[in-house]
Amino acid sequence: KAGVTQTPRYLIKTRGQQVTLSCSPISGHRSVSWYQQTPGQGLQFLFEYFSETQRNKGNFPGRFSGRQFSNSRSEMNVSTLELGDSALYLCASSYELAGVYEQFFGPGTRLTVL
Amino acid sequence: KQEVTQIPAALSVPEGENLVLNCSFTDSAIYNLQWFRQDPGKGLTSLLLIQSSQREQTSGRLNASLDKSSGRSTLYIAASQPGDSATYLCAVSLGGSNYKLTFGKGTLLTVNP
């Protein structure tokens, strides 16, 4: 089975621009979560989508948004970029089987805001 | 609010040594705990998942234990190799349709040949 894929792998943007990141989950996984990783804050949860609905949300400003499509692929959008948005953005897909819920991560998108 | 702490922050050992990485969490009402490995600039690789009802899980040279009541987990690596050098992250989820992972800051492991 193919793993979680994320595109693009690297992005350079300037302050004030917006960006869209894409995540394709493992086939059959219906849940997609997004995390931000920075050296200072570590890994922080952004949001989770399940069957095209946002199921959970972290403590990030409204500039961060996402959506999920009927094929479970997900996109994350950040508007009005700030320098502090520079980070590695990781997507994870999940399944639940017999009460076991395990998350599998993609390689990430490295976003640099200049 | 769930907080996860990993000790030590960094560890350097000679090849062949057995070692233990520690993880503690403040809210014992967890659904499961996962240990991950992250190589520089890369994504996370899931190593072991322990459900709240389990006490330990093993995979090859890795053994993870869970003591929910005390809010602790350990990752034991036997006969360490230079290829084990990476950052090891511990994460917990609360479950009940909230499966978000709360991560520790990780332990940076260096195994010297």
Q: Is the pLDDT of residue B55 over 80?
A: yes
Contact B71, B92 (CB under 8 A): no
Contact residues, chain A, for B44 at CB < 8 Å:
90, 92, 105
Contacts of A6 in chain B (CB under 8 A): 43
- Positive/negative CA dihedral, A104, A26, B99, A11: positive
Of residues A102 and B45, more confidence is placed in B45
Residue A96: what pLDDT?
77
Cis peptide before B113 (omega within 30 of 0): no
**Smallest CA–CA distance from A50 into chain B, residue:** B97
Model pLDDT, residue A97: 74
Lowest mean pLDDT among A17-21, A80-84, B90-94: B90-94
* A108 to chain B: closest CA residue: B43
Q: How confident is the model at residue B99 (pLDDT cuts 50, 70, 90)?
A: confident
Give the model's pLDDT for residue A101: 80
Q: Which of B44, B49, B95 sits opposite A105 (nearest CB)?
A: B44
- A27-68, pLDDT tens digit by residue? 999 999 999 999 999 999 999 999 999 999 999 999 999 999
The whole-angstrom separation of Cα A69 and Cα A79 is: 20
pLDDT tens figures, B10-42: 999 999 999 999 999 998 888 899 999 999 988
B101 — contact with chain A (CB < 8 Å)?
yes
Q: Does B13 touch chain A (CB under 8 A)?
A: no
**DSSP assigned state of A103:** E
Contact between A31 and A93 under an 8 Å Cβ cutoff? The reply is yes
Band of pLDDT at residue B96, cut at 50, 70 and 90: low
